[in-house]
């Protein structure tokens, strides 16, 4: 039986390395994870690497769909659920979107509902093993129901927003939402309401 793949995708047996720019060097003493922007208490929140690593660990079995047309099915991701981070540092009631920030100023925007999906996870592990640096160690976001660019590698924090704003690839012609089942690859495919004007 053929696996259930989004349109235009092909099954990938391995896990190709795809990213833009160099692989950052991890320095645990300098690393922190920040939550800022439209927080409920108006404050910034942060965790050191040691503190973030001590947060509740969860595993999620989920697919990864890359916009370059490969899909990796049934991977086990381990880490901290996005909704658990949100519970520790809640957004203001009028926050509608999240900007995920990563090393080198890379960013990706998400609707709050996508961020709060029960399978959206800040992954530290895949298949029980620590992520490699090339695959995003120490932290990458996995948003299984969207194309993989919506889940950056080398994540450093999240910004709660009260209005949508395009991230790095969304400003460069990628679709603002990125649903693989609707094949939302490029901004020219967007319909009214899918995102802010380019």
Looking at domain 39-189, its CATH superfamily turns out to be: Oxidoreductase, molybdopterin-binding domain (3.90.420.10)
Mean pLDDT of 109-113: 98
> What does the alpha-carbon distance between residue 82 and residue 89 come to, in Å, rounded to a whole number?
11
Mean pLDDT of 73-94: 97
Report pLDDT digits (tens) over 124-160. Answer: 999 999 999 999 999 999 999 999 999 999 999 999 9
Q: Strands 10-11, 70-81: parallel, antiparallel or unpaired by DSSP? A: parallel
**Beta partners for residue 29, in sequence order:** none
Q: Half-sphere exposure (CA, 13 Å, Cβ side) for 148?
A: 24
Could you tell me the residue ranges of all domains in the chain?
A: 39-189
Report pLDDT digits (tens) over 157-185. Answer: 999 999 999 999 999 999 999 999 999 99
13, pLDDT greater than 70: yes
**In the structure encoding, which two tokens stand for residue 117, read together?**
């999906």
Q: Could you check whether the bond before residue 156 is cis, i.e. omega within 30 degrees of 0?
A: no
What pLDDT, on the 0 to 100 scale, is given for residue 1?
Answer: 44
């Amino acid at each position: 039986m053929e696996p259930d793949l989004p349109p235009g995708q092909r099954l990938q047996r391995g896990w190709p390395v795809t990213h833009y720019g160099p692989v950052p060097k991890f320095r645990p003493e300098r690393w922190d994870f920040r939550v800022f922007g439209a927080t409920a208490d108006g404050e910034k929140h942060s965790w050191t690497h040691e503190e973030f690593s001590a947060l509740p660990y969860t595993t999620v079995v989920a697919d990864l769909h890359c916009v370059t047309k490969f899909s990796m099915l049934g991977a086990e991701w381990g880490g901290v659920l996005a909704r658990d981070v949100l519970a520790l540092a809640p957004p203001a009631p009028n926050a509608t979107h999240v900007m995920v920030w990563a090393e080198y100023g890379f960013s990706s925007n998400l609707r709050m509902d996508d961020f709060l999906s029960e399978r959206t996870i800040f992954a530290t592990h895949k298949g029980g093993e620590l992520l490699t640096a090339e695959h995003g160690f120490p932290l990458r976001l996995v948003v299984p129901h969207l194309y993989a660019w919506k889940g950056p590698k080398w994540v450093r924090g999240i910004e709660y927003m009260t209005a949508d704003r395009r991230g790095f690839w969304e400003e460069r012609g990628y679709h603002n939402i990125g649903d693989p089942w609707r094949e939302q690859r490029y901004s020219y495919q967007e319909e009214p309401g899918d995102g802010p004007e380019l």
